[in-house]
Amino acid sequence: MPFRFVHTADIHLDSPLRSLALRDETLANLIGTATRTAFERTVSLCLEERVHALLIAGDLYDGGQTSMKTARFLAAQLSRLDAEGIRTFIARGNHDAESRITAELVLPDSVTVFSGRAEAHTLLGAADGRDVVIHGISFRDPHAPESLLPKFKAAVPDALNIGLLHTSLGGAAGHDPYAPCSLADLEATGFDYWALGHVHARAVHREAAPAIVMPGQPQGRDINEAGPKSVTLASLSGDGGVTLAEHVTAVAQFERVAVDATGVEDWRDLVTAVGEALAAARSAAACDHLVARVRLRGPTPLAWRARVDGALLLAEAQARAERLGGVWVESVDNDTQPAAAPDTGAEADPVSELRALIHREVAPSPSFQAHAREIAETLRGQLPKECTALLGEDEESFNAILSGLIEEGARDVLAHLHGGARRDGEGGA
C-alpha cells in the first residue's frame, strides 16, 4: 500500500491570546483551548485514516513556554498514535528552539525529534514495498538566517525521500526570513516530498513529485491569521505518485466581514446589512465558530453617527451574531465616509471646513507628524513584548500604521463635533 501521512506545522500549542477583542470570557475560553483541540483533531485524523506517520514541520510550541501542562498534553496525544503503531517525526522550528519543553519532555519511542544536525530515517518497504526515507533538521537557535538545505543528507537512491524543513522560503509578509531557500533549490534535491512549515497560510507550491507543501497552521489565533485552517493528508505511492487532501482542523475561523453601507440612510437598515453580512460569512465558514471583524465602508449619511455610536453598533452586531449561533463579533471598524452633500452654492459648515483644514495643513505638518511619532514610540516602548507588533515590525509598517491612526483619530474628533453641532442645531430649532 502507499505510504500515507499527515503533514502539519505551526501548531503553537497553548499560544497566549493575542486579540484584544477576546475579552469576552466565553470567546476567550474557546480560542484559548483551540490550538489543543485542533491538535487533537489532527491526531484523530491520523487514527481514522490509519496513516503510517505524522510529520510536524516546526513550531509545535510557542516560544519560551515552560508549562508542563502543555508537555503532558502533547505526550498524551502522541501516545495515542504510539498505541496504534503510528510514527511521529518532528523538526523543531524557531519557536521550538526557545522552549524549555523541547529539551525536557520525554516522548514515546515512536516519536523522532530531529536534532540540529541533519538526520535520515529509513522505513523499510513502507510505500508499496519501496523504502521511505524521512530527512530532517531542527533549529538549534531561534534564528537561522542561512539556508539549512546544504546540511541535508543526499537523497537515498531507489527510495522515496521526504524532507522536513522549517523555512520562510523566499520570504513572506509578516514573517521574518528563516532558513531561506528557493523552490528551485528544493526541487534540485531529488526528494519526492518537501514537508515545510513556518508560513501560516496554506500553499501547495507543487502537487506532483517533488511535491512542495506549506500546510499552514491548523488553528488561527487572531484576525491576521484569517480563514479556515487545516492539515494535509498525503499519500506517496511506490512509483512516486503523490495525492494530497486538505482537512480542516480549526475550531474557530477568523474573518474580515465587509459591509457596504453606500447610500444607507436609516440606522435599522445599517444594522440589517451587518446581520446579513454576518449570516453570509457564517454560511461560508468551514469551521465550528466564526470570529468576525466587521468593516463598514462606502459613503453614507450615517457615517458620523456610526462613528459616534460605535459602541451601540458593536452591541447591535453582537446581538445579531448571537442569534445566528456560532458567530462572534470581535469589533466593528468604520471606514465609511460622509455622503457628498449637493452643491447649493452655500458656505460649507464649520465641521467640514475644519476637516479640510486638518487634512490640508495640520496632519501633514512636520511638527504634528513628529509629535505623533513621539507619542507612538513612547507607547510602543511601554507595550508588552508580544504586543509590540501592533505598531508595526519595521519602519515602513510603523509609518503606515501611524498614518492610519492619525486619520482614524481625526475622523473620531470630527464625528463628535458633527454630532454636537447637529444636537445644538436641533435644540435651537
Residues 368 and 295 in one domain: no
Asked whether residue 255 falls in the same domain as residue 115, the answer is no
Q: Does the pLDDT of residue 418 top 60, yes or no?
A: no
pLDDT tens digits for range 246-269: 999 999 999 999 999 999 999 999
Sign of CA dihedral 331, 38, 95, 227: negative
Structural domain count of the chain: 3
The CA-based angle 394-56-230, given to 5 degrees, is 75
Say if CB 258 and CB 278 are below 8 A apart. no
Query: Among residues 306, 323, 340, which one ends one of the domains?
Result: 340
Q: How many percent of the chain have pLDDT more than 70?
A: 76
121 with 86, same domain: the answer is yes
Nearest to 7 by CA among 170, 236, 334: 236
- Report which of 76, 57, 335 is spatially closest to residue 178, judged by C-alpha positions: 57
Q: What is the pTM of this model?
A: 0.79
Half-sphere exposure of 110 (CA within 13 A, CB side): 18
Within this chain, do residues 298 and 316 fall inside the same structural domain, yes or no? yes
Considering the domain architecture, whether residues 213 and 257 belong to the same structural domain is answered as no
Q: Are residue 147 and residue 235 in the same domain, yes or no?
A: yes
**Rounded distance, CA 415 to CA 29, Å?**
35
Rg of the chain over Cα atoms, rounded to whole angstroms, equals 26
226 and 161, same structural domain? yes
Mean predicted confidence (pLDDT) in 338-350: 58
Q: How confident is the model at residue 180 (pLDDT cuts 50, 70, 90)?
A: confident
- The residue with greater pLDDT, 349 or 205, is 205
Residue 51 structural domain: 3-248
Q: Give the integer Cα–Cα distance in Å for 374 and 182.
A: 40
Decide: 97 and 63 in contact? Cβ < 8 Å. Answer: no
Choosing from 195, 215, 248, the residue where a domain stops is 248
Helix (H) or strand (E) holding 331: strand 327-338
User: Is the same domain home to 321 and 402?
Assistant: no
Nearest 10 degrees: Cα torsion 260, 266, 268, 269: -40
DSSP string, 388-420: GGGG-SSHHHHHHHHHHHHHHHHHHHHHHHHHH
Look at residue 378 and tell me whether its pLDDT is greater than 80.
Answer: no
According to DSSP, the residues that pair with 298 across neighbouring strands are: 336
- Do 86 and 187 lie in one domain? The reply is yes
Rounded to an integer, the average pLDDT of 393-398 is 70
pLDDT at position 429 is 33
Q: What is the dihedral of CA 111, 94, 234, 107, to 10 degrees?
A: 10
CATH of the domain at 129: 3.60.21.10
Cell of 170: 523566499
- Provide the mean pLDDT of the chain: 84
The verdict on 269 and 219 lying in the same domain is no
- 155/272 same-domain check: no
| Rounded-to-integer distance, Cα 143 and Cα 132, Å | 30
Q: What is the pLDDT of residue 423?
A: 47
Q: What band does 426 get if pLDDT is binned at 50, 70 and 90?
A: very low
408 and 422 share one domain: yes
